[in-house]
């Protein structure tokens, strides 16, 4: 498939290791206006890692650790890229045995526009058994994950990066140039824990 540029935008992959050795990856897109290069991208990756440790890992099982943030520009096919590896892996802080790796919690990215092309989602795992019961995550953890994304958005915005949803298809047609829509908030619809088959052990991230 041909490369599809995303103007002014970079992709950030937050890479964790779960207790069984599989990668657990969350991907976010941020847009920065004007000129930017490797220096700005590297600083953004480090800023994202720091806020993720402080605001997101506090909601994740202590059997899972954050290892690195992989970032790359999406403007052209040979755009700049930067990988920030933490000096030492940062473990989650929630005690208790982890739920299965395919179990996760979904937080929706709100843009103020309707339609699937104008919203994004983050699926958080690994979740501690202590933070879920009867198929529901606790209120504290649900709010913690949502507020973690709020903190990420604020820190990155202060550094000049705007959280966006990337829309690659419109009216069932792949666009020659992707469209970005600013994220204005976050929500969870319910506290039911979700599952992602691709996060089963040995099946991917």
| Cis peptide bond N-terminal to 126, omega within 30 | yes
Residue 17 C-alpha from the chain's centroid? 14
3-class state of residue 99 by DSSP: coil
Q: pLDDT in tens for each of the 205 residues of the chain?
A: 789 999 999 999 999 999 988 899 999 999 999 999 999 999 999 999 999 999 999 999 999 999 999 999 999 999 999 999 999 999 999 999 999 888 999 999 999 888 777 889 999 989 999 999 999 999 999 999 999 999 999 999 999 999 999 999 888 889 999 999 999 999 999 999 988 765 555 555 5
Report the 3 state secondary structure along 86-114.
EEEEEECCECCCECCCCEEEEEEEECCCC
For 186, counting Cβ atoms within 10 Å of its Cβ (0-12 exposed, 13-18 middle, 19+ buried), the class is buried
Q: Beta strand pairing status for 65-73 and 81-91?
A: antiparallel
pTM higher than the cut 0.75 = yes
Each domain of the chain, given as residue ranges in start order, spans 9-199
Residue labelled with tokens 């480090």 = 46
3-class state of residue 166 by DSSP: strand
């Amino acid at each position: 498939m041909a490369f599809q540029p995303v103007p002014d935008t970079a992709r950030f992959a937050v890479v964790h290791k779960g207790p069984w050795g599989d990668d657990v990856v969350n991907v976010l897109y941020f847009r920065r206006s004007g000129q930017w290069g490797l220096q700005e991208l590297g600083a953004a990756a480090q800023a994202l890692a720091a806020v993720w440790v402080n605001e997101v890992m506090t909601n994740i099982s202590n059997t899972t650790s954050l290892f690195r943030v992989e970032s790359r520009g999406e403007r052209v096919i040979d755009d700049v890229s930067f990988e920030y590896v933490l000096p030492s892996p940062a473990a989650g802080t929630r005690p208790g045995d982890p739920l299965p790796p395919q179990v996760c919690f979904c937080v929706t990215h709100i843009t103020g526009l309707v339609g699937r092309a104008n919203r994004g989602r983050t699926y958080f795992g690994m979740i501690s058994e202590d933070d879920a019961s009867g198929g529901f995550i606790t209120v504290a953890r649900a709010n913690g994950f949502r507020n973690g994304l709020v903190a990420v958005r604020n820190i990155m915005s202060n550094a000049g990066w705007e959280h966006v949803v990337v829309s690659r298809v419109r009216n069932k047609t792949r666009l020659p140039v992707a469209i970005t829509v600013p994220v204005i908030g976050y929500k969870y619809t319910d506290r039911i824990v979700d599952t992602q088959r691709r996060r089963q052990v040995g099946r991917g991230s």
